[in-house]
């Protein structure tokens, strides 16, 4: 049982930052999908174990209650036997009381030990569920960011959305946004270069067309002048 808790504790404490970084480097959410599958398997195993331990806790508590109540009744009966002068029966009852009290104490100690472990498992379950929820949410964020990065539909609008995402204050998401924004900045630079080249070509073409038009006007004027002469 301890090995399961240790395994899950290590899993829960794994850095989401590194998971997101690896997913971003691979340009795929597959890394996060594998983490989610492992989390779901660990959660299932933890819930099964917690149910078993929880059942044991209830059994031990019930046993402790039964022996404790029986011991209390027997203790009162011993007083009655002594007052009635039935010392032999009182002695036998006292021996039985000692046994029941000992068993009640043992059940109590086992119950408390199992209860502590049960609470640890419940707390670990909450942590694992919280981590699973977080990684699922970040998976969707990352998938959307990768799509934005790949599609590169509108640079300005995309960068603005990343700025908004980075401003939410979560270190891992902010880091992710910064990395994707860097990639988008590179694409912006490439887009600007291509746009400038295209603009230069258009300007050259326009200027060249204007010169041709002016020369043609001159030719027409010269031909007209020759015709008049």
197-225 confidence digits (pLDDT tens): 544 554 555 455 555 666 677 777 777 77
Task: Please give the mean pLDDT across all residues of the chain.
Answer: 75
pTM: 0.58
User: Region 144-164: what's the mean pLDDT?
Assistant: 53
Q: Is 80 exceeded by the pLDDT of residue 92?
A: yes
Contact partners, residue 179, CB within 8 Å, separation at least 6: 21, 24
> Residue 12 in contact with residue 127, Cβ under 8 Å?
yes
Q: Is 90 exceeded by the pLDDT of residue 59?
A: yes
Report the C-alpha gap between 99 and 65 in whole angstroms: 15
Beta strands in the chain (DSSP E): none
8-22 confidence digits (pLDDT tens): 877 777 777 777 777
> Residue 51 in contact with residue 167, Cβ under 8 Å?
no
Contact partners, residue 168, CB within 8 Å, separation at least 6: 174
């Amino acid at each position: 049982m301890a090995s399961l808790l240790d395994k899950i504790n290590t899993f829960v404490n794994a850095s989401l930052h590194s998971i997101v970084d690896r997913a971003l480097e691979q340009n795929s959410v597959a890394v996060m999908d594998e983490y989610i599958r492992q989390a779901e398997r660990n959660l299932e195993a933890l819930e099964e174990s917690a149910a078993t331990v929880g059942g044991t806790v209830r059994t031990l508590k019930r046993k402790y209650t039964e022996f404790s109540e029986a011991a209390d009744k027997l203790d009162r009966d011993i007083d009655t036997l002594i007052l009635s002068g039935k010392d032999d029966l009182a002695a036998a009852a006292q021996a039985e009381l000692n046994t029941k009290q000992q068993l009640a104490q043992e059940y109590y100690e086992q119950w408390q030990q199992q209860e502590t472990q049960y609470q640890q498992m419940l707390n670990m379950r909450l942590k694992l569920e919280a981590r699973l929820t977080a990684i699922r949410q970040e998976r969707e964020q990352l998938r959307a960011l990768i799509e934005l990065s790949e599609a590169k539909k509108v640079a300005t609008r995309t960068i603005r959305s990343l700025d908004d995402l980075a401003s939410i204050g979560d270190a891992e998401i902010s880091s992710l946004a910064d990395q994707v924004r860097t990639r988008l900045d590179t694409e912006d630079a490439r887009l600007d270069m291509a746009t400038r080249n295209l603009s230069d070509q258009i300007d050259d073409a326009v200027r060249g067309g204007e010169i041709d038009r002016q020369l043609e006007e001159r030719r027409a004027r010269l031909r007209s002048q020759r015709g008049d002469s």
